[in-house]
Amino acid sequence: MKIRGTDFVLFQVSDLVAAARFYRETLGLPQEMFSEESQWAEFNCGQLTLSLHGGAKPPGVTAAGRIALAVEDVRAAYDELKRSNVVGVTEPCDYGVCCAMEVQDPDGNTVILHRRSDGTCGRSLTNEAEDAAAIVGLERAALERWGRGDPSGFLEISSPDVSYFDPTLTQRLDGKEALTRLYESVRGEIHLDRFELLNPKVQFCGDGAVLTYHFVGESEARTNRWNCTEVYRRTPAGWRIIQTHWSFTRPFHKP
């Protein structure tokens, strides 16, 4: 077994709203997902994701989670938290190789605010070439099912908060439920003899990835050419689409 890296750290919290507010507003982490229905929230911590699972704690579970977050200046972070009257804040301590302090979230989980003496942070083991191949593979597999009249391939890899554009729509679709209605309206109606996914390019930004490519689909009746942009997000379940934009390849000419 080969460990490739850390995907996420999970904290069990009793109040998801209060905990999410602490990480989003007090610590300033970018919130990437929040679902009160699923009692799940995710925050971008750079090289990994912090996941919060809300609801009643299982018997015997106590607040024992710990995560170390890199900051530029530990003392400045300490002063900021003290000015905000945040409780559970310890004095910064210089260990030579690093400087660190601790603060507790509303459930008592410990967050270590940390700075290495050499200025580095995290350890990214992500192989972007492997991730790019995986994303293109997901897209190609979904297109193969699409060409057989089955839109479920795309629905299965779409995030609940997905948004969608194509030239047939007068406005953006928001959410997987709206996208499902659109896709179900064409189920069984699309049949491609062959297709090509041309010149795929994947660009990464943290836990986000943008896939762009040119699509050519051929059937007995016609050949369709499209440009596609897909925005994927890394989640504990794998890469998921959060935004889709299809456009015609035919250039626009002014009269």
pLDDT at 88: 84
pLDDT tens track for 41-66: 988 887 678 888 887 665 555 566 77
The pLDDT value recorded for residue 191 is 93
- CATH class as words, domain 8-116: alpha beta
Strands laid side by side in the 194-205 sheet: 173-174, 158-165, 238-248, 223-235, 208-218, 194-205
Outline which parts of the chain fall under CATH 3.10.180.10.
8-116
Strand partners, 223: 218
Task: Kindly state the tokens that stand for 96.
Answer: 């030579």
Sorting pLDDT into bands at 50, 70 and 90, what band is 237?
A: confident
The region that residue 206 occupies, defined by phi over 0 for left and psi between -120 and 50 for alpha, beta otherwise, is left
Least confident of 85-89, 149-153, 185-189: 85-89
Tokens of 30: 């970018």
Distances (CA, A) of 26 to 30, 77, 118: 11, 11, 26
What's the confidence (pLDDT) of residue 173?
A: 97
**Residues 127, 119, 33, 18, CA torsion sign:** positive
Domain with CATH 3.10.450.50 in the chain: 128-248
Measured from the Cβ of residue 238, the count of other Cβ atoms closer than 10 Å reads: 12
Distance set, CA 253 to CA 126, 233, 250 (Å) = 43, 35, 9
- Give CATH for domain 128-248: 3.10.450.50
Q: What is the pLDDT of residue 1?
A: 33
Residue 226 has what pLDDT?
A: 95
- The per-residue pLDDT for 2 is 46
Tens of pLDDT, residue by residue over 75-125, are 999 999 999 988 889 999 998 877 989 898 888 888 888 887 877 666 444
pLDDT number for residue 37: 87
